[in-house]
Structure 1
């Protein structure tokens, strides 16, 4: 099942994430507490480089969503896991989560979407405004360059 990823900046320090496939969708708020856009870009790089397992953490307040991808036989098997509190900060068990979306798709489909998300932010927000909104985190320009093979 194709995975659709939407990531839009909102107010200072917040973004909106929507993950969907042909049958289900899941939306989450994303806080500045974690550098999720950089992790999302790294996930795409990991897939591009053939890494067998990778993930991105999207922190909310409270809770967090982990997008976990495992490569098997040229298929990117994905699972979106919701945690009631911050498992990445050891405030919740890493084994206690709810799977809110799962499926499999072509790795390139995910890489292309993430690259498009990054390009959209550069084109419509810019690096300076991004830094204003995400105070703690710079736009992942080097990651984008790597995805574009610059």
Structure 2
């Protein structure tokens, strides 16, 4: 079904409309172990088929989870790194056909880095866990433990990340996000570009 929309006076307003029309639903909610969730995630985003789950918690902290065979691995995420910005950049790059992309999720201490590679529709992913901040040069990038690896469809990962961005944009908003994430603003520009690209591809 094609929906005709009158373009509002502001660009964010347009994307709020697109987001409301393009949200998809699927299975059941995801719960992080020992973590309080402030806002319910969309069903599409948290279905176990999806690689990534991401949610904001108290100021300066978020939680990220990853599909790993028969379970989901959960990690704390600190405001010290712009992890949501990394995800937005990853999705946009992969949608444009990038061969490699990565996102850093920094804890205090330690971090996990999601690496993706692939030239076609199916990507290989690897989740690397570090004892310290390798992304800040505190230890060698080679000194890590692989805690999950597998394959995922390029389009599925892009839409998974878009669902995360969409929910936070609609439910948390730009001002509240900035308050919670302290050092970094919501990646609005990449979210808008990704929304346009996915909307055109429908």
Inter-partner Cα distance in structure 2 for 1:22 and 1:91: 30
1:18-61 per-position Cα deviation (integer Å, ceiling 9, x unaligned): 00144242111000000000000000011101110110000000
Tell me which residue corresponds to 2:32: none
Tell me which residue corresponds to 1:115: 162
Gaps in structure 2 of 5+ consecutive residues:
1-48, 198-202
Tell me which residue corresponds to 1:101: 148
Using the size of structure 2 for normalisation, the TM-score is 0.71
* 1:37 and 2:84 are equivalent in the alignment: yes
Tell me which residue corresponds to 1:16: 63
Match for residue 129 of structure 1 among 153, 176, 193: 176
Greater radius of gyration (CA) = 2
Inter-partner Cα distance in structure 1 for 2:54 and 2:83: 10
Quick check: 2:97–2:119 contact (8 Å CA) kept in 1?
no
Inter-partner Cα distance in structure 2 for 1:115 and 1:125: 15
Using the size of structure 1 for normalisation, the TM-score is 0.95
Corresponding residue pairs, total:
149
Tell me which residue corresponds to 1:70: 117
Q: CA RMSD in A?
A: 1.3
- Larger relative contact order (C-alpha < 8 A, sep ≥ 6)? 1
Match for residue 84 of structure 1 among 128, 131, 139: 131
Inter-partner Cα distance in structure 2 for 1:95 and 1:22: 24
3-state SS of paired residue (2:196): coil
Gaps in structure 1 of 5+ consecutive residues:
none
